[in-house]
């Protein structure tokens, strides 16, 4: 459609689905709900190659159209069987640029149950930019979303979008264009975007399947311990060096590299050439990979201002943590009780502490001997946005300490590798205090506010009124001692 593509989310209280019709693949993603932290419950991709030969013929690949329509019918059936409340279809570069793109969309219009949109280049850039902000709220710099048919570039900062450009240099499209040297076309297209140089020294945010493949390859080569693409960060010069190496490899050479999908061996060199050229132009400090893009941005663009203002990690923890709680003890009550001893925390620490309070009963139904390990693994691998890999490691360690005062270093190996000494100290303190909170309250509301937890330069003190003395269990002193040790303080119980 012309102008801005929008979606009304007022009625989408349940599951929502998107069929993303790209230049190379078609993907169905179903989310639990359209929220600040959209959680996918189903995700399937089919390669159709709609844009193959597009620049040479001006039309969609006929075999790709046949495959696309058949799979869209299947995806529609699946989505409605999952009881989605809305199903949107987003057709991007290939369909909007093809002479028969409107015919394709008219064919889709005959199929009931789909809200089909031909997404303009401007909207594609807008949605992809919002997708990065949705998953990385502090994002500031330039986003690039490389698909099979186009490259979208958007400036990001302060939760808003700046300049944007769409370039017709998707690898699949260029390889089948027959209109000259694809490498030269990439270089000329990127060099022709004047506003990029205004963001020299900022961060580059990479979106799209080809660049995710690059990130996986880099993880394998570097022996990186956490295989989560979202918020994976590489120093720009290192990214350029690897990108230049891959850009000159043959498909056969790439097949031998661990971490490279065979489906990407033809297009990955051109994707790496585009990445190298962008990094040479922008000269960023680092490259951050985002698993959030067009689809998440599509929903984010229609959220209320109040919903957008929520931190995505806290939103995720609130929504998912509710299902992991066995008691009526409210996370807010735990948070408020802990606040006097965490007065020197940073804003990032505060977000992690809030999330930890919501997730603090995550392993109650695991075997007692394995609760710390299960909590650690679960949190380290959460499909949650809004945290860097360091922050993910700190949160995971905090939940391990919540269940066990002395988890073995071998169990925490990945998190120890990803964090720093300050983060490890914060995690231990937070976990020990959560452990103390559950010992005192037994998971029941109303008890913690009556027993004050305070911190001085020398002491970590529990102040217990006379009528609440019975709330102190046999292990309370040990739990307080463990928490005080984490702060380097003396444990004190003061009875009123």
Q: Over the stretch 413-433, which tens digit does the pLDDT of each residue have?
A: 999 999 999 999 999 999 999
Question: Looking at residues 53-64, what average pLDDT do you find?
Answer: 92
Look at residues 13, 26, 19 and name the one whose alpha carbon lies nearest to residue 61: 26
- DSSP output for 292-329: --HHHHHHHTTS-HHHHHS-HHHHHHHHHHGGG--S--
Nearest alpha carbon to residue 147 among 117, 133, 127, 163:
127
Q: Give the tens place of pLDDT for each residue, 207-219.
A: 999 999 999 999 9
16-119 against 311-495: fold identical = no
Q: For residue 472, name the pLDDT band (cuts at 50, 70, 90).
A: confident
Question: Can you say how many angstroms the Cα of residue 59 is from the centroid of all Cα atoms in its chain?
Answer: 35
Q: CA triplet 405, 470, 428: central angle to 5 degrees?
A: 15
Distances (CA, A) of 397 to 48, 58, 98, 378: 43, 54, 51, 11
Q: Is the predicted pLDDT of residue 115 greater than 60, yes or no? A: yes
- C-beta of residue 447 within 8 angstroms of C-beta of residue 441: yes
Query: Which pLDDT score is estimated for 46?
Result: 94
CATH no. of 16-119 = 3.30.420.40
Averaged confidence pLDDT in the chain: 93
What residues does 19 pair with on adjacent strands?
28, 89
Q: Is the pLDDT of residue 134 over 80?
A: yes
Which sign does the torsion angle of CA 255, 29, 18, 228 carry? negative
pLDDT tens digits along 8-53: 443 346 999 999 999 989 999 999 998 999 999 999 999 998 988 8
pLDDT band at 409; cut points 50, 70, 90: very high
Q: Which H helix or E strand runs over 43?
A: strand 40-47
- The number of beta carbons lying within 10 Å of the beta carbon of residue 489 is 17
Please give the model's pTM, rounded to 2 decimal places: 0.92
In this predicted structure, the answer to whether residue 404 has a pLDDT above a threshold of 50 is yes
pLDDT > 70? residue 176: no
**Whole-angstrom Cα distance, residue 437 to residue 403?**
12
pLDDT score, position 177: 63
- Token readout for 113 is 């149950």
pLDDT at 179: 67
Per-domain residue ranges for the chain?
16-119, 137-291, 311-495
pLDDT above 50 (res 1): no
Answer yes or no: CATH 3.30.420.150 is held by domain 137-291.
Answer: yes
Lowest mean pLDDT across 123-137, 176-190, 232-246 = 176-190
Residue 275 to residue 289: CA distance in whole angstroms = 12
Taking only the tens place, the pLDDT of each residue in 250-288 is 888 888 887 777 777 888 999 999 999 999 999 999 999
Handedness of CA 331, 332, 337, 341 (dihedral sign): positive
Residues of the chain with pLDDT > 70: what percent? 96
CATH of 311-495 given 2.20.25.90, 3.40.50.300, 1.10.3210.10, 3.40.50.620: 1.10.3210.10
- Greater confidence, 470 or 307? 307
């Amino acid at each position: 459609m012309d102008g801005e593509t929008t979606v009304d989310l007022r009625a989408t209280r349940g599951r929502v689905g998107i069929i993303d019709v790209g230049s190379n693949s078609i993907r169905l993603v179903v989310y639990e709900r359209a929220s600040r932290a959209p959680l996918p419950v189903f995700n399937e991709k089919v390669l159709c190659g709609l844009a193959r030969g597009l620049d040479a013929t001006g039309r969609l690949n006929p075999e790709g159209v046949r495959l696309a329509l058949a799979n869209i019918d299947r995806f529609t059936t699946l989505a409605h069987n999952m009881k989605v409340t809305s199903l949107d279809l987003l057709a991007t570069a290939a369909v909007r640029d093809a002479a028969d793109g409107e015919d394709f969309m008219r064919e889709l219009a005959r199929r009931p149950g789909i809200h089909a949109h031909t997404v303009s280049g401007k909207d594609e850039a807008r949605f992809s930019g919002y997708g990065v902000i949705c998953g990385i709220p502090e994002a500031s710099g330039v986003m690039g979303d490389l698909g099979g048919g186009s490259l979208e570039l958007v400036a990001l900062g302060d939760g808003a979008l700046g300049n944007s450009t769409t370039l017709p240099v998707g690898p699949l499209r260029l390889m089948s264009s027959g209109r000259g040297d694809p490498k030269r076309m990439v270089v000329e297209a990127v060099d022709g975007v004047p506003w990029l140089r205004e963001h020299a020294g900022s961060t580059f945010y990479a979106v799209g399947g080809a660049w995710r493949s690059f990130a996986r390859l880099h993880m394998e080569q570097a022996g990186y311990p956490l295989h989560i693409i979202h918020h994976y960060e590489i120093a720009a010069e290192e990214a350029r060096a690897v990108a230049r190496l891959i850009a000159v490899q043959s498909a056969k050479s790439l097949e031998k590299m661990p971490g490279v999908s065979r489906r990407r061996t033809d297009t990955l060199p051109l994707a790496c050439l585009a990445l190298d050229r962008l990094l040479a132009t922008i000269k960023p400090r680092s490259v951050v990979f985002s698993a959030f893009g067009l689809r998440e941005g599509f929903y984010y663009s229609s959220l209320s201002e109040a919903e957008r203002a929520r931190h995505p990690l806290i939103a995720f923890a609130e929504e998912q943590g509710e299902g992991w709680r066995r008691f009526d003890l409210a996370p807010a009550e735990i948070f408020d009780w802990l606040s006097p001893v965490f007065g020197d925390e940073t804003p990032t620490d505060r977000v992690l502490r809030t999330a930890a309070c919501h997730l603090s009963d995550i392993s109650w139904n695991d075997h007692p001997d394995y609760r710390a390990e299960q909590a650690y693994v679960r949190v380290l691998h959460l499909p949650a946005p809004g945290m860097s890999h360091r922050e993910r490691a700190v949160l995971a360690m905090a939940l391990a300490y919540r269940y066990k005062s002395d988890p073995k270093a071998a169990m925490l190996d990945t998190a120890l590798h990803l964090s720093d000494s300050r983060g490890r100290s914060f995690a231990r303190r937070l976990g020990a205090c959560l452990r103390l909170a559950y010992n005192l309250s037994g998971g029941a509301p109303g008890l913690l506010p009556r027993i004050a937890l305070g911190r001085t330069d020398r002491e970590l003190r529990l102040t217990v009124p006379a009528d609440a003395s019975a709330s102190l269990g046999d292990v309370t002193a040990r739990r307080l001692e463990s928490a005080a040790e984490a702060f380097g303080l003396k444990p004190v119980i003061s009875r009123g």
